[in-house]
Amino acid sequence: MAKLPAYIGPAAFGLKMGVIVPGSDLLAMIVQIAGTCHEDSLLDNGDVLCVTESVLARSQNNYVTIAEIAREVQEHLQIGPKGKVGVVFPIASRNRFAMVLEAIAAAVPEGEVVVQLSWPRDEVGNQIISEEFACSLGKVSSDPITPEELAGHNFKHPITQVDYIQLYRQIIQGQGARATILLSNDPKYILTQSPQGVIVSDIHNREKTLASLSDKVKTITLADLCSSPSRSAWSEWGLLGSNMSSGDKLKLAPRSASAFARDVQREVARLTGKEIEVIIYGDGAYKDPTTQIYELADPKPVFGATPGFTNLLREGFKYKYLVDFYHQQGQSVSEIEDLLKQKLCAENRDQNETEGTTPRRLEDVIASLADLVSGSADAGTPAVLVKGFFD
C-alpha cells in the first residue's frame, strides 16, 4: 500500500487483529498491527491509534459475577437478605443494566427492590412509556406515575420491542425479591417507599442525583461497586460502563486505561520511530435522530488517552463563510486558497470565522468516529487508525 496522497483529509481505518481473550497480550498485538501499518506506509507522526475498551477489559480478565456484586451491595448498603433497596434512574438496557439489577435483587432475595425510572425516556433516550400514555393519565413531567397506574399496560420499546418495566420486574422476582416499579423524574420520590439504601444508577448526572439523596438515606452510585483495587477484577469506573457477558458474569470497563495508552505509544515509537497518540474508547457521543437514542451509555467516550489530548479542543474555520467572504471581495480561487492556508497557521481567530464550528474535546470527536467505524454490530476491528487530525 502506498502512502495516502496529500489530497486525502481526515480518515479512519478499521484494523483487523484476530481473537482477543482473557490473558491475551493485547499490548503486543496492538504494537504488531501498528508495525504492519508502518511497513505498508500507512503510519505517520500525529496519527491516532484507537483501541476499543472492550478488548482491553477482556484481555485484563476484568469480569465479576452476579454473586460478587450482590455481596458488595450488601456490604456498601449494610443490608441483609430481607432488606429493601431503592434503584434510581437506571437506563433501559438488557446489555447494560439487566445483570446489574439481577445482582442487586440477589442481595435481598427475601426483601424488596424498588426501581424508579425516569419518564418518558431514560437519560440516554430509550423510551420507557409513550408521551401519549402519560397524557392519557393527565401527567406532566413533574408528576410521578405509580405502580397502580402502570398496572395492566404494556410498554414495548419502539426499537427493541422489549417492555423494560415488565423485564425489570421479572428480573427482580426471579431472585425471589418483591418488585416495585414506579416512574418519577424527581429522585427524591424514591424516599416515599422508605428504602434502607439507594443505588443511584444514572450515568451522566449521577453526582447531582447522589447529592439530592445522600443526606436522607444511605446512598451509593454504580461507580462505588467493584471499584476497589483490592479485588482481582475491578475498575475505577465501578459498574459504570459494564456490559453483559456469558453465564453469570459481567464485564467491567477496563482499568488503568491511560497507562495502557501510554504503553502503546511508547512501544510503537520504539518499533517504528513514529510519534502517535492513543485513546481507549467506548461509546461514541452522538444522538440518533430517528430513535432519539443518545448512544453514550458509557460514563464518557474515552476511558484513557495519551497526554497529547490534554485540554485539547477541536476548533475549525467556517470554510463556506470564508470562501463567500473572500469571493465577495473579488479574490480569485488561487488567492482564496492561499488566504485559507494562512488562516490555518494564524494563532488569532475571528469569531465570525469560526461561527458554527462548536468547540469539542478532540478525544471525544475521534472516539465517536472510531465507534462508528468499529460499529455496534462489531466489524471485527477492535483497533482503528485515525489520520489527519494532528496535521
Round to the nearest angstrom and report the end-to-end CA distance of the chain. 21
Identify any residues that bridge with 114 across adjacent strands, giving them in sequence order. Answer: 86, 180
How far CA 272 is from CA of 45, 49, 339, in Å, comes to 10, 14, 36
Q: What is the pLDDT of residues 23-72, one digit of tens each?
A: 999 999 999 999 999 999 999 999 999 999 999 999 999 999 999 999 99
Q: What is the DSSP letter of 280?
A: E
What is d(CA 302, CA 53) in angstroms, rounded to the nearest whole number? 8
- Phi, psi torsion values for 389, nearest 5 degrees: -95, -20
pLDDT at residue 351 tops 50: no
- What pLDDT is stored for residue 355 in this prediction? 47
**Cβ count near 258 (within 10 Å):** 17
Instruction: Give the chain's domains with CATH numbers.
Output: 11-61+254-312+360-387 (3.30.1330.100), 63-251 (3.40.50.620), 319-354 (no CATH)
Look-up: residue for cell 493485547? 26
- What pLDDT is stored for residue 285 in this prediction? 86
Sorting pLDDT into bands at 50, 70 and 90, what band is 334? confident
Percentage of the residues of the chain whose pLDDT score is greater than 70: 89
Element (H, E) at 373: helix 362-374
C-alpha cell at 31: 504494537
Angle, in degrees to the nearest 10, between helices 99-107 and 164-174: 40
Q: Quote the pTM value.
A: 0.87
- What pLDDT is stored for residue 315 in this prediction? 59
Q: What is the pLDDT of residues 161-195, one digit of tens each?
A: 999 999 999 999 999 999 999 999 999 999 999 99
Percentage of the residues of the chain whose pLDDT score is greater than 90: 74
pLDDT at residue 118 tops 60: yes
- What pLDDT is stored for residue 332 in this prediction? 78
Q: What is the mean pLDDT of residues 361-383?
A: 85
pLDDT at residue 128 tops 90: yes
Beginning with the edge strand found earlier in the chain, give each strand of the sheet holding 11-15 in spatial order.
Answer: 11-15, 383-387, 48-52, 277-281, 302-305
For residues 185 and 142, the answer to whether their CB atoms sit within 8 Å is yes
pLDDT at residue 352 tops 90: no
Ranges 172-181, 287-296, 326-335, 352-361: which has the least confidence: 352-361
**Cβ count near 215 (within 10 Å):** 7
More confident residue, 260 or 378: 260
- What pLDDT is stored for residue 218 in this prediction? 97
What is d(CA 291, CA 299) in angstroms, rounded to the nearest whole number? 21
- What pLDDT is stored for residue 122 in this prediction? 95
